Amino acid sequence: MTITSATITLYLPRGDAKSLRTAEISNWSGKAVAAPRTEIDDLLAREELEKSGVYILTGTDPNSGSPRAYIGEAEVIRERLKQHKSKEFWVSAIVFVSKDENLTKAHVRYLEGCLISEAIQVGRFTLENSQASGSKLPESGRADMNVFLYRIQQLLPVLGSELLVPIAPGTSGAASGVPIALVCRVKGARALGQPTPDGFVVFKGSTAVLLERPATAKRQPYIITLRKELISNGILADSDGFLVFTKDTEFSSPSAAASVIHGGGANGLTEWRTERPTDA
């Protein structure tokens, strides 16, 4: 879908951006209501939760420490959310409903299926539920719900969730506003990546040196820790004398990404360079 501009209205009943809040987009029939788990009773009291819609619960897996989410749908959101009080992992809830009450059971099932599919593809969160009931809609219904889904994708980051934000926005070039891929090379290893709003992403298939520099453990122990974590999670895999990135991976900065690739401290501002035809 073509990217369109949006005028978003945020309402903070308590004046706190992390407290209960609502969000709407001009000329859109949908509405979002979000709240931390500590305010679940206030959220359940909202009249919007009497409607049908979709909801997203996010938090952290207590065992792995990785982001975790649950995506669901219901004809009466309030009753379904009450059932999720027993789930311990989630700390935040976001609900999407229609202001004109035109979301049917088929509509919300379709949206749930699309949201689960998108979240799996993005891969930022592990899902509690990876199976959706799904729903078949006529062509006009699918078109309407795809617009609804697009607006959900626009609102989620504004409400503090990156569930559907792609780790790698693409490499279509500066003309489209997307940064051109940069290359980092060291001792035969070659990595491609680009800046992101949250730091720097290294693309799947990039390689890093297999061994850390001898002095790294003493001078930059965090690099050793980060590499071990990436290996443990299967993001870096040993292959043909290098470590290979098995998925697009976002780092907090270009230097953090370059340091993992170098196996020691590296200045990301100088190590990441524009890819030239001779570099390929």
Please enumerate in sequence order all residues whose Cβ is within 8 A of that of 142, keeping only pairs 6 or more positions apart, or say none.
Answer: 110
- At CB < 8 A and 24+ separation, what contacts does 210-216 make? 210/238, 210/241, 210/242, 210/243, 210/263, 211/263, 212/263, 212/264, 213/262, 213/263, 213/264, 215/264, 216/263, 216/264, 216/265
Type of residue at 40:
I
Confidence band for 168, pLDDT divided at 50, 70 and 90: confident
For 70, 94, 156, the CA distances from 161, given in Å and listed in that order, are 13, 9, 5
SS3 140: helix
pLDDT in tens, 29-82: 999 999 999 999 999 999 999 999 999 999 998 877 789 999 999 999 999 999
Percent of the chain clearing pLDDT 70 (strictly above): 92
pLDDT in tens, 205-232: 999 999 999 988 888 899 999 999 999 9
Distance CA 81, CA 73 (A): 10
pLDDT in tens, 75-118: 999 999 999 999 999 999 999 999 987 899 999 999 999 999 99
Q: Which letter does DSSP use for residue 229 in this model?
A: H
Confidence band for 169, pLDDT divided at 50, 70 and 90: low
Note the pTM of the prediction, 2 decimals: 0.78
Q: Taking a C-beta distance cutoff of 8 angstroms, is the pair 4, 26 a contact?
A: no
User: Does residue 278 carry a pLDDT above 90?
Assistant: no
Mean per-residue pLDDT for 185-200? 92
Which conformational region is residue 241 in: left (phi greater than 0), alpha (psi within -120 to 50 degrees), or beta?
left
Mean per-residue pLDDT for 238-264? 95
Q: Which letter does DSSP use for residue 75 in this model?
A: S
Lowest mean pLDDT among 29-43, 52-66, 160-174, 264-278: 160-174
Q: How would you classify the pairing of strands 182-186 and 273-274?
A: antiparallel
